[in-house]
Amino acid sequence: MSAAAPDGRHSTTGRPDRATPWAMQIAVRYDKVAPPRSIDVAEAAARAVVRLLADPRSAPGGTWAQEVGYWRDGRIRKLVRRTRGKRWEEVQELPGLTVEQGGPLGWGRAAARAFVPGPVRPLPQPLAKTQVEGTHFPDGAALPPPPAAITAALGKDPASAPQRIALGAESASSGALVIIEVTPLHEMTSGKLCAQAAHAAQLAWESAAMPEALREAWAADGFRVRIERPDRAAWEAASRPVSVVDAGFTELDGPTETTRAHW
């Protein structure tokens, strides 16, 4: 189970690090022609991580159990990498699980693959060819005009296009059983958001506070999550059963609460 800081919040600094750090690598697919929104990619990444951890192969006696257990016993580290085209196909051959999910009309389909944890170096060649720095996807706040393909898909009702792409930066995952809230106090790249949302989802799945019936229902729902961005007042007033505190090694300075989860 996850270590907790004295105030009950999870801290990635609460576990020992390894001489050679281990990480769960997460690859996200990037398409320049039809890019997915950042929020859809982050939700897909969160789902992929929980699916991998909940998979029987990660349980005691499973083929992934030794690697997953060793990684969970140390400092939990997730690294998000972007790839596309042939390289996206190549990483599918490595042990892990892929989740795809759609967003509003006008945006590409999000896809993320979580890999069985391992040392950060050396990496398998397909992963070593992917990029880590500067992973960024559009947030959807500034909507692109619907392409001709969307108008054609709408058939005789093109007038409905504005309503069907009007989500902007908001999640399209209605009815999700687990809500992940993102801090309004700090900016994060899309890659960092993916890692923090995935960490919140992992802690939700591991949480003793989650009823087993809800955990089973969440699994049956494909571990869908909904990412929300509360305003500052709501963020500062709320208390949630899961709170992720980033250690501050990348992007953020010092221990920083980044995400929360509730159900």
Per residue in 149-185, is it b (16+ CB within 10 Å) or e — as a string? ebeeeeeeeeeebeeebebeebbbbeebbbbbbbbee
C-beta neighbour count of 260 within 10 angstroms:
24
pLDDT at 106: 75
Is the pLDDT reported for residue 162 higher than 80? no
The helix (H) or strand (E) run that includes residue 259 is strand 256-262
Q: Tell me the pLDDT band of 148, cut-offs 50, 70 and 90.
A: low
More confident residue, 255 or 257: 257
**Beta strands 178-182 and 256-262: pairing type?**
antiparallel
Tens of pLDDT along 87-116?
Answer: 999 999 999 999 999 988 778 899 999 999
The answer, yes or no, to whether the previous bond of 119 is cis (omega within 30 of 0) is no
pLDDT at 14: 52
Distance CA 64, CA 52 (A): 9
pLDDT at 112: 98
Q: Which residues does 39 contact at the CB level (< 8 Å), separation at least 6?
A: 103, 139, 140, 169, 170, 171, 227
Distance CA 240, CA 242 (A): 5
Q: What is the mean pLDDT of residues 8-23?
A: 62
**Length of the chain measured in residues:** 263
pLDDT at 6: 27
pTM: 0.86
Tens of pLDDT along 180-212?
Answer: 999 999 999 999 999 999 999 999 999 999 999
Tens of pLDDT along 118-139?
Answer: 999 999 999 999 988 777 898 8
Do residues 41 and 112 make contact, with C-beta atoms less than 8 angstroms apart?
Answer: yes
Q: What is the mean pLDDT of residues 232-258?
A: 88
Segments making up each domain of the chain, as ranges? 10-132+168-262
Is the pLDDT reported for residue 31 higher than 80? yes
